[in-house]
């Protein structure tokens, strides 16, 4: 493993938040270590195949867009490689001390018993392992062997051993081709256990059990003898009786611990003295055993302790900042009353289990089958809010993600079922048998409020209803039962018309709520961090990722209840907080500021003028290669080619000695390209980088061809099919050789970057972004179209939680004023913007007074742009707004409350109408802030007039996350809530002095008439993104006029055009605190680009061969990133190397290869195709 002991940041948790934060910092050229207690990365997302709205994955879109060559370019579920990131799995943070900028941390690594550096994932061990265990990855729905892959798709994918299930038969160690399994009994013999008991029979049986397990057991009959023995024979573990004649076990514990603080002690006790044992644990005992016990109680405990003590080792590291990205846990439905029979009825599953059921890597390979009998599912229901929004279950919060997850799962079910019927119709041709297959699946979602609170969510839900016929029943289900004969699940519920009905289902999915992740509590102790009442890490009011302890930040769900895009945003915000600490530390230590990257780039030999000299090193893997293909024949074939200087066969390239031999062989030649034919390429990524530095050959002129796949597969086949595998090996080798021969040896260009930024809009998001940028050392131009910065905070009064927004604004303004690197331009707008990422040239127009004379125009240069133009309350004419003075909007009420213009009389009877013109076409989205605002204002009005009668007319209360608490509180505080059906909205009549609101109350199905002193309309939010600005910037707006992000989940802040980012309410409606968080996150996205004065362009960036180019501009149309432009005199096509992602779309449309993707040019591709057909022995194949 990596021996590095200092990192800029430690990220705990390798889920998406951890990955996002780590990548962000890595791209700022910070060294990051990620640890995760799971044996694989990816967190919860590695178990989910599909995310809405695309209903696919898309996680890879998180990968860096610039400096891509530093990291891996493949599916993120497989793994993550980045020059600046080290990843340690099966490891936990176990200790923390020091201060921000200089934390000493301890990392506790758990052994997996398989050397990850040597395991090539061939899977031979799995075939011989005799033991079977339930599979955690598939939520226990399937099984795996005792030696297994924790995640099926991760790469490198080292096997791990579940020691609890392992019988140490040694079969895996014997068959392992690389000797990666470390399961030797010899290692256990070095683990010494001292057994102290006055009863000989106990000593004897323990000695026998422990010795049989391979441990070294020592015996002592009394405490005194034990202490003597410990002097001569240091032991790692002591098992001691409590009741002994002379020295008691407790006394022995004290004595032994005094002398040997690291000794691990387990108390053995009769039932009567359990309390003593528990007491003993407080004074240093690790655990206790109740006598009498059997080996199957003792041995697992000893093995667990053995793993912890002996095999695990703590790494001590110094880090400057700590990011907690430990993700989320889930409510366990069987824990409390288990009203849904989870674990009792076989077809009741949690939503996470259901994700595994429909996953192609899941237990059913994506089949929609019942768990009890494997029959196809015809009727399925989702029950929402299981373990959330439930005070009886300690969950006075909304889990935020389950509504959309359930809708997605229902849509996927429908899609899968449609596929099932399609398969059934073609099954005759393929010979698959499908019993009772049908495309019809009935899907019902039982919900309380449909919380479609995000951008595009409402349309997704509408689409589920209209396109996919997903049924929604607004009713909380109290419990369910199972029919005896068919084992169908019966759900009783309250239908829309108020009648009580029952329905039968094949499967019921429980949408279990989020809970803090397991390790949250222990981490809070280690890091001395407070937790919220719900048990998540507490964060500061206007900084959603900053914990009260400086230097420690929380990313994503660790700070509670986030969906994917929010997690990704908050992770970037967390990266900013951490980045700031690192930056401050860097400045204070006067470390050389990171200049260009070439100071770090190792100097590789320039081979661009040399003829191709290719070295091929082939791993023989013992005799496995020669069993499949004749090495001599390979040598013979390749020696024909004058460009191949040498072909060497090396045994076990994966071992240290094999690798050294290979390196020697290469250095003995004058090779300038190296092909290694061995196992999976990803296993070698880091090794190749290191080898490249020693050999002075650029890593992209070295490659690994996976020839062992067919070799291993051949081993299991009949000899007569061997030639086919041999052909595959040969073809793979040829392909690899051809590609390398054609590889472009020129060094990448450096692209200059203007390290300044432009922030458009000085609302809270824009100001926060500007501050974050300036704090990181970048000059910022902050432009604002109005006379004063502050945006909506100029009129907003308080947050839902009661914090003063005016104070927050004032503090922010003060910081802006004090920050010399920020230049604020008020009454200014952007009128022109040219250039591309890294180098923008903008023109701003400053117009202090109305009238053209005073207009000033200035030019600005910058490398990145942050759009923070915000949004405002939507105007409306509905519900007599504008015709009756007592009908006002939420904003008007907020201003009047702030200015204390509301009298108690005016607050006598207040009707609040939510979702005015919202969540229906044409503004079919939820504005997210109005429901909490209504709660907040209701409380303010009640403060003003305790007798106030407040009626809130709503469609679905969107109090997601912890704002649910305030909903509960408002209910308790006598605020009246009445749902209304959007098809029969309330009416407001303005003919009288006091407006009269009428509606049909849906529960009682009776008309209600309220004569109101005040009618408050929640009209929601519309974006401020003028068409002209979008055009000038070259960015898109979404259906509703908001900033169109590159990808709603994975790149929520980026424009499709690289170098332009957005934050705040121009993205989508959000609260002030959330807007500030997005400001920090957007700053992070920009700093990736700005952190160096020049960025080396990536190797896989398309280039134009101008001498061949006919300027047909088809490549400009084809480029999905807008990276191509025609130069000003229309003579050349230009490629912005920071924006180009190397997809090759341009090359495919170019008829004569004037546009090429180096490494994958037409010449290389055609040669590769050719190589596939090369045959080793033409007459014998």
Partner 1 sequence: MTQAHHPLIIAFVCNWCTYTAADLAGTSRLAYPENIRLIRVMCTGMVDPQYIIKAFLEGADMVLVSGCHPGDCHYINGNYKARRRIKLLKEILPRIGIEKERLKLTWIGASDGIQFSKTMQELVVQAKKLGPNPVNTQSVR
Partner 2 sequence: MKNTHARQPLKSVRNMVQACIQCGTCTGSCPNAFAMDHTPRQLWQMLLNDRPRDAITSKTFILCSSCYYCTLRCPRGLPLTDAMAALTRLAKTENPGGFKKSQAFFHQFLESVRRHGRVNESELMTLFFMEAKDPVLPFAYANLGIKFLRKNKIRLPFVKQKPSRGLDKIFEKVRELETHS
Partner 3 sequence: MAHTLFLTSADETPLTLIRNFLKSVLQTESVQAVLVPAKLLPSDTLMPHLISDPDLLAGADPLSPVFPLNASRMAAKLSVKPVQGKIAMVLRPCEIRALVELEKLKQANLENCLLIGADCMGAVSAKDHTNMDPPENFSPPKEENLAPACRACEHFVPENTDITIGLFGITPKETIMLQAGTDAGMTLLKKIAKDTGRQFTEDASERQTAVAEKLKQRIGYRDAMFAATRQALDSPENFARYFERCINCYNCRVACPVCYCRECVFNTDVFDHAPYRYVQWARRKGAIRMPADTVFYHMTRLAHMSLSCVGCGQCSNACPNDIPVMEVFRTTAFDVQRAFDYEAGRDRDDPLPLSVFKETEFTDIVGIESGPTESAGTGNNP
| Minimal distance, residue 1003 CB to partner 2, in Å | 4
Q: Interface with partner 1 includes 1163 (CB under 8 A)?
A: no
Q: What residue 1009 binds from partner 2, partner 3, partner 1, none (CB within 5 to 8 A, per partner kind)?
A: partner 2
Q: What residue 1113 binds from partner 2, partner 3, partner 1, none (CB within 5 to 8 A, per partner kind)?
A: partner 3
- Which residues touch 1112 (CB under 8 Å, ≥6 apart)? none
Provide the 3-class DSSP secondary structure of residue 490. Answer: strand
Distance CA 247, CA 244 (A): 6
User: Given candidates 1056, 1118, 1134, 1172, which one binds partner 3 under the rule CB under 8 A?
Assistant: 1118
Structure-block tokens of residue 736: 């690899």
Q: Interface with partner 3 includes 468 (CB under 8 A)?
A: no
Q: 742 or 945: whose CB is closer to partner 3?
A: 742
Q: Interface with partner 2 includes 390 (CB under 8 A)?
A: yes
Lay out the site mask for partner 1 across 1081-1110 (x = CB under 8 A, - = otherwise): -------------------x----------
Instruction: Find, among 560, 526, 569, the residue nearest to 21 by Cα.
Output: 569
Q: Partners of 866 in the beta sheet?
A: 759, 1061
Sole window of 216-224, 271-279, 395-403, 1105-1113 interacting with partner 3 (rule: CB under 8 A): 1105-1113
User: Given candidates 232, 262, 430, 499, which one binds partner 1 under the rule CB under 8 A?
Assistant: 430
Q: Interface with partner 2 includes 1042 (CB under 8 A)?
A: no
Give the ranges where 260-291 is alpha helix by DSSP (H): 274-282
Number of residues that bind partner 3 (CB under 8 A): 29
Q: What residue 1110 binds from partner 1, partner 3, partner 2, none (CB within 5 to 8 A, per partner kind)?
A: partner 3
- Which residues touch 837 (CB under 8 Å, ≥6 apart)? 66, 863, 864, 1057, 1058, 1059, 1060, 1089, 1136, 1138, 1139
| Minimal distance, residue 132 CB to partner 1, in Å | 16
Distance CA 844, CA 466 (A): 47
Phi, psi of 1062 (to 5 degrees): -135, 155
Sole window of 513-521, 698-706, 1008-1016, 1135-1143 interacting with partner 2 (rule: CB under 8 A): 1008-1016
Q: Interface with partner 1 includes 71 (CB under 8 A)?
A: no
User: Given candidates 498, 533, 668, 802, which one binds partner 2 under the rule CB under 8 A?
Assistant: 498
Q: 605 or 1106: whose CB is closer to partner 3?
A: 1106
Q: Interface with partner 2 includes 619 (CB under 8 A)?
A: no
Q: Please, what sign has the CA dihedral across residues 23, 24, 28, 32?
A: negative
Note if the bond before 53 is cis, omega within 30 degrees: yes
Instruction: Find, among 478, 509, 513, the residue nearest to 406 by Cα.
Output: 509
Q: Interface with partner 1 includes 157 (CB under 8 A)?
A: yes
Q: Interface with partner 1 includes 77 (CB under 8 A)?
A: yes
Q: 154 or 227: whose CB is closer to partner 1?
A: 154
- Which residues touch 891 (CB under 8 Å, ≥6 apart)? 795, 873
Q: Interface with partner 2 includes 391 (CB under 8 A)?
A: yes
| Minimal distance, residue 397 CB to partner 2, in Å | 12
Number of residues that bind partner 1 (CB under 8 A): 60
Phi, psi of 83 (to 5 degrees): -50, -35
Q: Partners of 504 in the beta sheet?
A: 490
* Residues 1138-1157 interacting with partner 3 (rule: CB under 8 A): 1149, 1151-1154
| Minimal distance, residue 954 CB to partner 1, in Å | 33
User: Given candidates 311, 846, 1008, 1094, which one binds partner 2 under the rule CB under 8 A?
Assistant: 1008
Q: Are 414 and 468 in contact (CB under 8 A)?
A: yes
| Minimal distance, residue 720 CB to partner 1, in Å | 11
Structure-block tokens of residue 590: 């006067």
* Residues 607-666 interacting with partner 3 (rule: CB under 8 A): 640-642
Phi, psi of 238 (to 5 degrees): -125, 130
Distance CA 1121, CA 375 (A): 47
Q: For the chain, what's the residue count? A: 1181
Q: Please, what sign has the CA dihedral across residues 585, 590, 592, 593?
A: positive
Distance CA 148, CA 138 (A): 13
User: Given candidates 431, 719, 851, 972, which one binds partner 2 under the rule CB under 8 A?
Assistant: 972
User: Given candidates 472, 536, 659, 725, which one binds partner 1 under the rule CB under 8 A?
Assistant: 725
Q: 200 or 724: whose CB is closer to partner 1?
A: 724
Q: What residue 1160 binds from partner 1, partner 3, partner 2, none (CB within 5 to 8 A, per partner kind)?
A: partner 1
Provide the 3-class DSSP secondary structure of residue 1094. Answer: strand
Give the ranges where 519-563 is alpha helix by DSSP (H): 520-527
| Minimal distance, residue 1149 CB to partner 1, in Å | 8
- Which residues touch 365 (CB under 8 Å, ≥6 apart)? none
Q: Interface with partner 2 includes 968 (CB under 8 A)?
A: yes
Q: Interface with partner 3 includes 876 (CB under 8 A)?
A: no
* Residues 408-437 interacting with partner 3 (rule: CB under 8 A): 426, 429
User: Given candidates 83, 1114, 1132, 1172, which one binds partner 3 under the rule CB under 8 A?
Assistant: 1114
Q: Partners of 859 in the beta sheet?
A: 843
Provide the 3-class DSSP secondary structure of residue 551. Answer: coil
Number of residues that bind partner 2 (CB under 8 A): 43
Provide the b/e sequence for 939-973 (b: ≥16 CB within 10 Å): bbbbebbeebbbbbbbbbbbbbbbbbbbbeebeee
Contacts of 293-297 with C-beta under 8 Å, sequence gap 24+, read: 293/268, 295/209
Q: What residue 1157 binds from partner 2, partner 3, partner 1, none (CB within 5 to 8 A, per partner kind)?
A: partner 1
Q: What residue 1178 binds from partner 1, partner 3, partner 2, none (CB within 5 to 8 A, per partner kind)?
A: partner 3
Q: Please, what sign has the CA dihedral across residues 302, 303, 307, 311?
A: positive
- Which residues touch 665 (CB under 8 Å, ≥6 apart)? 615, 617, 646, 648, 650
Structure-block tokens of residue 838: 């890294």
| Minimal distance, residue 608 CB to partner 3, in Å | 16
Q: Are 207 and 219 in contact (CB under 8 A)?
A: yes
Lay out the site mask for partner 2 across 456-475 (x = CB under 8 A, - = otherwise): ------------------xx
- Which residues touch 318 (CB under 8 Å, ≥6 apart)? 5, 6, 7, 98, 102, 103, 104, 105
Q: Interface with partner 1 includes 39 (CB under 8 A)?
A: no
Q: 643 or 1001: whose CB is closer to partner 2?
A: 1001
Q: What residue 477 binds from partner 2, partner 3, partner 1, none (CB within 5 to 8 A, per partner kind)?
A: partner 2
Q: What residue 392 binds from partner 3, partner 1, partner 2, none (CB within 5 to 8 A, per partner kind)?
A: partner 2
Expressed in angstroms, the distance from the first to the final Cα of the chain is: 44
| Minimal distance, residue 529 CB to partner 2, in Å | 29
Give residues in contact with partner 2 (CB under 8 A).
337, 339, 385, 389-393, 448, 474-479, 492-494, 498, 500, 908-909, 947-949, 957, 967-968, 971-974, 976-979, 1001, 1003-1004, 1008-1011
Residues of this chain that interact with partner 3 (CB under 8 A) are 426, 429, 640-642, 1107-1114, 1117-1118, 1149, 1151-1154, 1161-1163, 1166, 1170, 1173-1175, 1178
Q: What residue ranges bind partner 1 (CB under 8 A)?
A: 49, 54-58, 60-61, 73-75, 77-78, 121, 123, 126, 149, 152-153, 155, 157, 359-361, 365-366, 430, 709-710, 713, 721, 724-725, 727-728, 731, 735, 1056, 1100, 1118, 1120-1121, 1141-1145, 1147-1149, 1157, 1160, 1162, 1165-1166, 1168-1170, 1172-1173
């Amino acid at each position: 493993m990596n021996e590095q002991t200092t990192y800029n940041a430690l990220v705990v948790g390798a889920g998406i938040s951890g990955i996002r934060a780590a990548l962000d910092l890595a791209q700022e050229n910070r060294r990051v270590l990620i640890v995760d207690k799971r044996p694989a990365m990816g967190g919860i997302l590695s178990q989910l195949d599909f995310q809405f709205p695309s209903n696919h994955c898309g996680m890879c879109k998180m990968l860096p867009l610039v400096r891509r060559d530093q990291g891996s370019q493949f599916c993120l579920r497989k793994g993550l490689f980045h020059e600046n990131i080290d990843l340690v799995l099966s490891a936990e943070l176990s200790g923390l001390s020091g201060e921000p900028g200089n934390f000493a941390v301890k990392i506790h690594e758990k052994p997996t018993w398989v050397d990850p550096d040597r395991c090539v994932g061939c899977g031979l061990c799995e075939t011989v392992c005799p033991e079977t265990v339930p599979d955690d990855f598939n939520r226990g729905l399937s099984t795996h062997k005792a030696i297994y892959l924790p995640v099926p798709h991760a790469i490198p994918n080292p096997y791990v051993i579940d020691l609890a299930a392992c019988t140490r038969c040694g079969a895996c160690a014997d068959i392992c081709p690389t000797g990666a399994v470390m399961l030797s009994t010899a290692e256990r013999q070095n683990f010494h256990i001292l057994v102290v008991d006055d009863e000989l029979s106990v000593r004897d049986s323990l000695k026998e059990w422990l010795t049989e397990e391979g441990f070294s057991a020592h015996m002592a009959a009394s405490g005194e003898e034990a202490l003597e023995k410990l002097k001569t024979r240091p032991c790692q573990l002591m098992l001691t009786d409590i009741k002994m004649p002379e020295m008691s076990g407790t006394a022995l514990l004290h004595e032994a611990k005094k002398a040997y603080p690291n000794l691990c002690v387990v108390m053995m006790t009769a039932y009567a003295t359990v309390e003593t044992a528990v007491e003993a644990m407080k004074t240093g005992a690790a655990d206790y055993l109740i006598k009498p016990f059997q080996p199957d109680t003792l041995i697992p405990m000893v093995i667990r302790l053995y793993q912890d003590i002996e095999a695990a080792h703590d790494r001590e590291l110094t880090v400057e900042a700590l990011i907690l990205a430990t993700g989320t846990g889930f409510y366990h439905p069987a824990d409390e009353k288990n009203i849904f029979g989870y674990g009792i009825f076989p077809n009741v599953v949690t939503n996470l289990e259901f994700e595994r059921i429909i996953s192609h890597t899941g237990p059913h390979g994506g089949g929609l089958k019942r768990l009890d009998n494997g029959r196809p599912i015809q009727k399925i229901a989702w029950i929402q809010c299981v373990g959330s929004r439930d005070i009886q279950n300690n969950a006075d919060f909304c889990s935020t993600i389950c509504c959309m997850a359930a809708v997605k799962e229902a849509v996927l079910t429908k899609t899968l079922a449609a596929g099932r019927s399609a398969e059934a119709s073609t099954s005759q041709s393929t010979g698959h048998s499908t019993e009772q297959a049908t495309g019809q699946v009935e899907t019902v979602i039982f919900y309380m409020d449909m919380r479609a609170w995000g951008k595009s969510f409402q349309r997704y839900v509408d689409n589920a209803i209209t396109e996919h016929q997903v049924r929604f029943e607004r009713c909380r289900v109290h419990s369910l039962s199972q029919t005896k004969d068919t084992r169908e699940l019966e759900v009783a519920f309250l239908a829309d018309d108020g009648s009580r009905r029952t329905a039968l289902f094949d499967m019921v999915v429980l949408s279990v709520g989020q809970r803090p992740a397991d390790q949250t509590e222990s981490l809070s102790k280690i890091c001395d961090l407070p937790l919220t009442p719900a048990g998540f890490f507490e964060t500061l009011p206007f900084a959603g990722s900053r914990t009260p302890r400086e230097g420690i930040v929380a990313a994503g769900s660790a700070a509670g209840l986030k969906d994917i895009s929010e997690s990704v945003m908050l992770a970037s915000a967390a990266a900013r907080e951490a980045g700031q600490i690192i930056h401050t530390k860097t400045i204070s230590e006067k470390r050389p500021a990171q200049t260009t990257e070439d100071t770090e780039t190792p100097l590789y030999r320039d081979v661009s003028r040399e003829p191709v000299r290719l070295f091929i090193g082939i791993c023989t893997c013992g005799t496995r290669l020669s069993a499949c293909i004749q090495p001599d024949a390979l040598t013979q074939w390749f020696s024909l080619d004058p460009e191949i200087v040498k072909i060497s066969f090396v045994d076990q390239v994966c071992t240290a000695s094999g690798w050294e031999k290979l390196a020697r062989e290469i250095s003995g030649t004058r090779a300038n390209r190296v092909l290694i034919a061995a196992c999976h390429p990803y296993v070698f990524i880091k090794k190749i980088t290191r080898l490249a530095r020693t050999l002075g050959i650029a890593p992209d002129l070295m490659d690994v061809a996976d020839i062992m796949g067919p070799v291993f597969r051949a081993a299991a086949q009949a000899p007569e099919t061997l030639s086919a595998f041999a052909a595959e090996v040969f073809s793979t080798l040829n392909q690899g050789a051809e590609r390398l021969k054609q590889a472009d040896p020129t060094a990448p260009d450096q692209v200059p970057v203007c390290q300044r930024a432009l922030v458009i809009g000085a609302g809270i998001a824009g100001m926060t972004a500007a501050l974050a940028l300036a704090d990181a050392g970048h000059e910022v131009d902050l432009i604002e179209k109005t006379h004063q910065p502050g945006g909506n905070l100029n009129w907003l009064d308080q947050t839902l939680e009661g914090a003063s927004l005016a104070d927050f604004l004032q503090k922010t303004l003060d910081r802006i004023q004090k920050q010399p690197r920020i230049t604020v331009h008020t009454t200014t707008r952007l009128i022109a913007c040219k250039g591309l990422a890294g180098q923008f040239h903008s023109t701003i127009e400053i117009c202090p007074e109305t009238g053209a004379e005073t207009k000033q125009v200035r030019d600005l240069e910058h490398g990145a742009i942050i759009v923070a133009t915000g949004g405002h309350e939507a105007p409306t004419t509905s519900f007599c707004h504008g015709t009756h003075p007592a009908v006002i909007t939420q904003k008007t009420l907020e201003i009047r409350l702030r200015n204390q213009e509301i009298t108690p009389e005016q607050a006598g009877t207040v009707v609040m109408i939510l979702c005015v013109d919202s969540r229906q076409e044409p503004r079919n989205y939820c504005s997210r802030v109005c429901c909490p605002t209504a709660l907040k204002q209701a409380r303010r009005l009640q403060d003003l007039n305790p007798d106030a009668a407040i009626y809130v007319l709503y469609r679905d209360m969107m109090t997601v996350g912890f704002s649910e608490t305030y909903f509960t509180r408002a209910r308790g505080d006598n605020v009246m809530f009445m749902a209304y059906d959007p098809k029969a909205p309330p009416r407001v009549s303005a003919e009288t002095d006091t407006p009269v609101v009428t509606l049909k109350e849906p529960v009682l199905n009776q008309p209600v008439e309220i004569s109101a002193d005040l009618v408050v309309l929640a009209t929601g939010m519309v974006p401020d993104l003028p068409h002209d600005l979008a055009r000038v910037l070259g960015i898109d707006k979404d259906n509703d006029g908001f900033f169109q992000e590159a990808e709603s989940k994975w790149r929520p802040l980026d424009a499709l055009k690289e170098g332009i980012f957005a934050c705040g309410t121009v993205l989508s409606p959000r609260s002030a605190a959330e807007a500030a968080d997005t400001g920090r996150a957007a700053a992070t996205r920009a700093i990736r680009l700005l952190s160096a004065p020049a960025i080396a362009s990536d190797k896989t960036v398309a280039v134009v061969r101008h001498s061949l180019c006919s300027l047909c501009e088809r490549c400009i149309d084809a480029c999905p990133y807008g990276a191509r432009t025609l130069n000003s005199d229309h003579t050349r096509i230009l490629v912005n190397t920071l924006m180009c992602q190397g997809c090759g779309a341009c090359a495919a449309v170019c008829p004569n290869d004037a546009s090429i993707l180096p490494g994958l040019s037409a010449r290389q591709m055609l040669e590769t195709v050719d190589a596939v057909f090369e045959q080793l022995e033409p007459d014998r194949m």
